[in-house]
Structure 1
Amino acid sequence: MENLKTGSKGNLVTYLQKKLVVLNYPVTVNGDFDQLTDDTVKNYQRKKGLTDDGIVGGNTWVMVYTDTEHPRDALKRIERHNDINQLHPIVRKAAVKVFVQLQSEGIPFRIYEAYRFPERQADLYAQGRTKPGPIVTYAQPWSSYHQYGLAIDFVLFENGEWSWNDAGSKAKLWSKMHELGTQEGLMRLGFETPHLQIMGTSSSALRSGVYPAGGDKLWYNNFMSALGK
């Protein structure tokens, strides 16, 4: 996904402008990254402590997502949440780029789950084994990329309800989500349709303490908390 800047046009610009309006910025929604949009983006970036260059890339999209989507944090470690700020920055930026592209095209995916604590992974792994319900994962705690902040789950959200339906006409929507994920450096798991995870590492490498470079304080502090440190 290319960065947006002065001269950009199209659905992504329209989506950005709509979000800026939601945040009470006086921008015209016209699909054209014009001078007013450029000035507005720079103003927003300054307020958020970002480089005010008017270029909308990963960092700016993360801020827009956080400010407009109000991600749900988990009150307990066994609960689901979708706060992308606890993910590794590589996955955080990739995930939000997938999200905004889907939204700009009217494809109703939302981020269902971001970081997942090992307690929740254990609970999900028990389902279909020692707890009622179908099997939903084959990964035990610390075997899933979720525990390292390196995975994200997207699920369709239609008419106020989550939907895992991937049959019939819905199949192409899931294919589009996976395609965009691949373009942003995230790979799917064949047996977990909503799941996208970072490329270029392995569960064994992660369990041995070899993590992708570029982690920031938000990711590190949450990860250390999960490790009990």
Structure 2
Amino acid sequence: MEIQEMIEAVQRKLGIGVDGRAGAETWGAIYAAIVKPKIQGLPPAQAISPVDERSEKNIATLLPEVQPMARALVQKAAANGIQIKVLSGLRSYTEQDALYAQGRTASGNIVTNARGGYSNHNFGIAFDIGVFEGNRYLGTSPKYKAVGVLGMDLGLEWGGSWKSIVDEPHFQLRPSWATDLPERSMLAELRNRLSAGTEVYA
């Protein structure tokens, strides 16, 4: 049996999402099943300890399925000697359009190529991180690549691995129904789900 099949079998047994990746939800469920049946009264996926205040404000805007992944990434980076913070989470279509206007019809530099409804940030499944040294924010650093590897190990999709637009601070949790979908198709379905009030990870 391959390792992915083992993880999928464990996930089915624990009654959590089956994706074959041992991410934060899987480890939280294993911990709850083996070590503590109840962790402060929280579901296993939400039992990961909070991180810094700035990150938590942005993490709170993400969907519940994504929140533990963001916390786990901050903690895993710290365990590897890298200080990161979550700088951006959910954005409304209006906020996204305002960002898209920068460097085009508004002052400032171009910061995104996505209009409202065409960014994963608009659906609460994506977040951006920043690398810090003390209080100093590092806009560019080799450490982003190291954090990217840590994020992918958790089961996150990393913008630094994209071929068309490389976005090293960006991470997202792709729904299982979108595993083999192109980005454009996934975004179209996310827009449909938001309009219909359907859960993203259902």
Bin of the TM-score, shorter chain as denominator length: 0.5 to 0.7
CA distance in 2, matches of 1:100, 1:128: 35
Contact 1:58–1:96 (CA<8 Å) still a contact in 2? no
* 2:168 match: secondary structure: strand
1:60 equivalenced with 2:43 (yes/no): no
Which residue in 1 is equivalent to 2:42?
Answer: 50
CA offsets 1:71-111 (integer angstroms, 9 cap, x no match): 478xxxxxxxx431231222212111111100122202111
Give the partner amino acid of 1:188. W
Pick one of 119, 122, 137 that aligns with 2:94.
119
* 1:196 match: secondary structure: strand
Give 1:167-182 correspondences, 5 Å limit. 170-171=141-142, 173-182=143-152
Give the partner amino acid of 2:150. L
Give the partner amino acid of 2:158. R
1:89 equivalenced with 2:64 (yes/no): yes
Stretch deviating more after TM superposition (180-189 or 133-142): 180-189
Contact 1:136–1:192 (CA<8 Å) still a contact in 2? no
Which residue in 1 is equivalent to 2:153?
Answer: 183
Which residue in 1 is equivalent to 2:139?
Answer: 164
Q: For this pair of structures, how many residues does the alignment match?
A: 156
TM-score normalized with structure 1 length: 0.59
Which residue in 1 is equivalent to 2:112?
Answer: 137
TM-score normalized with structure 2 length: 0.66
Which residue in 2 is equivalent to 1:70?
Answer: 53
Structure exhibiting the larger radius of gyration computed from Cα positions: 1
CA distance in 2, matches of 1:204, 1:84: 24
> Cα gap change, 1:162/1:115 in structure 2, threshold over 3 Å: closer, same or farther?
same
Structure 1 unaligned spans of 5+: 6-37, 52-56, 74-81, 215-229
* 1:83 match: secondary structure: helix
CA distance in 2, matches of 1:211, 1:198: 14
Displacement, 1:186? 1.6
CA distance in 2, matches of 1:101, 1:72: 14
CA distance in 2, matches of 1:100, 1:72: 11
Which residue in 2 is equivalent to 1:195?
Answer: 170
Structure 2 unaligned spans of 5+: 1-22, 179-185
Amino-acid identity (%)? 25
